[in-house]
Amino acid sequence: MAGLELLSDQGYRVDGRRAGELRKIQARMGVFAQADGSAYIEQGNTKALAVVYGPHEIRGSRARALPDRALVNCQYSSATFSTGERKRRPHGDRKSCEMGLQLRQTFEAAILTQLHPRSQIDIYVQVLQADGGTYAACVNAATLAVLDAGIPMRDFVCACSAGFVDGTALADLSHVEEAAGGPQLALALLPASGQIALLEMDARLHEDHLERVLEAAAQAARDVHTLLDRVVRQHRAELRGGHRLVLGAGFPAADPAHLHVGERHGLHHGGGAVCGRRPCPGFCPGLRRPPQEVGGSASGLA
C-alpha cells in the first residue's frame, strides 16, 4: 500500500511492535458449560471461540466410521460482523470450507485418534472479530478446547503467522500487514518435538529467505506455547482450588466458566435485579454434568 510503511527505519511496525513481537494474547478455557470442551482466545483484536463435542458416535452415515481411529470433523465459521466489510454468509463459502479442512488436517496430526475407534470428534471454531492471523487464533483456541474436553493429544498445537518485509521477517501479522500483499506464512507446530503439523505460504518468496521466515514463525509458535501452557495450568489450579467458583444452595461445584454475575463487574446486582418481583435467588440453576477435570493436560500429553 503506497504511503503505509509496514516497517519503519527504527524497526517498528504499524502498531508499534518489533519485528518478532507477538500481539497480546489472553485466553480462557471452559467458556460454555454445555459443550464437552470450549475455549476463547484473543490475539490482539482477533477473537476466536472454539467448541469441542466428543468423542461421540458418528452422526449421519455409519459408513464413514473408521475402524481403527476416530473421525475428526472441523467447521470454521466467522461471524458476519467480524470483518470490516460485513460478510454475507458465516460459513459454507469456499474460504471457510478450506479453513475447516486445514484445521482437520492439523488436528488429525495431534489428537491420539487410535484411542477412540469408530467415533467422531467435532471441533467448531467461530471467529468473532478478524484482525489478521485468524487461522493461528483458531488453532490455538481449538487446542485449548480439545484439552478442556479431556481428549488426549500428542502435544499442544501452537500456530502463528509470519511475513517478510524489507529483508526482515515479521511474526504475527495483523490485518493491515496481511492486506499489504507481501508473502504470508502460516505455521502450526507441535512444540515439544518441533514437528510441523501444517505449513502454508501465499505469494512469492525467494527460497533464500524461507528459512528466516520459518524460524520467525517457529519461535513465535513456541512463545505462544508458553502462554497457552500457563493458561492450562491456571485453569487446572482453579478447578482444584475452586477460588473462582460460587457454590449456592448445595448445587454441585460449577464450572468456573459458569460464573455467577456477582463476579463480573457487578453490573447485574448493582443495577437492581432483572428478575421480577422477588429478589434474585442468587444462584444459577445447577449443572447436570459433574465438573470436568482437565485431565487432558496431565495425562493427555503423551
Q: Residue numbers of the site for another protein (CB under 8 A)?
A: 26, 28, 31-35, 38, 40, 42, 45, 47, 49, 51, 53, 59, 73, 75, 77, 79-84, 86, 90-92, 122, 124, 126, 128-129, 131, 249, 259-261, 263-265, 267-268, 270-278, 280-281, 284-286, 288
What region, left, alpha or beta, does residue 60 occupy, with left being phi > 0 and alpha being psi -120 to 50 degrees? left
Nearer to another protein, 44 or 183 (CB): 44
Nearest distance from C-beta of residue 196 to another protein, angstroms? 28
Burial class (CB in 10 A: 0-12, 13-18, 19+), 280: middle
Cα dihedral value 16, 22, 28, 29, nearest 10: 160
Backbone angles phi, psi at 231, to 5 degrees: -65, -40
Shortest Å, Cβ 268 to another protein: 6
- Count the Cβ atoms, other than its own, within 10 Å of residue 65: 15
- Closest CB to another protein among residues 196, 261: 261
Q: Which residues 6+ apart lie within 8 Å of 263 measured at CB?
A: 244, 246
C-alpha span between 47 and 141 (Å, rounded): 9
The per-residue DSSP string of 20-58 comes to TPPPPEEEEE---SSSSEEEEEEETTEEEEEEEEEEEEP
Min dist CB 139 to another protein, Å, is: 16
**Nearest to another protein of 194, 266 (CB atom):** 266
As a whole number of angstroms, the distance between CA 243 and CA 30 comes to 15
Taking the least distance from each CB to another protein, the nearer of 138 and 162 is 138
> How far is the C-alpha of 24 from the C-alpha of 280, rounded, in Å?
37
Q: How far is the CB of 281 from another protein (least distance, A)?
A: 5
- Return the closest-CA partner of residue 131 out of 161, 106, 109: 161
User: How near is the Cβ of 204 to another protein at its closest, in Å?
Assistant: 30
Q: Which is nearer to another protein, 46 or 184 (CB)?
A: 46
Q: How far is the CB of 226 from another protein (least distance, A)?
A: 19
Output 18 or 268, the one with its CB closest to another protein: 268
User: Quick one: 31 or 188, whose CB is closer to another protein?
Assistant: 31
Of residues 275, 273, 253, the one with CA closest to residue 262: 273
Distance CA 48, CA 135 (A): 10
Closest distance of CB 286 from another protein, Å: 8
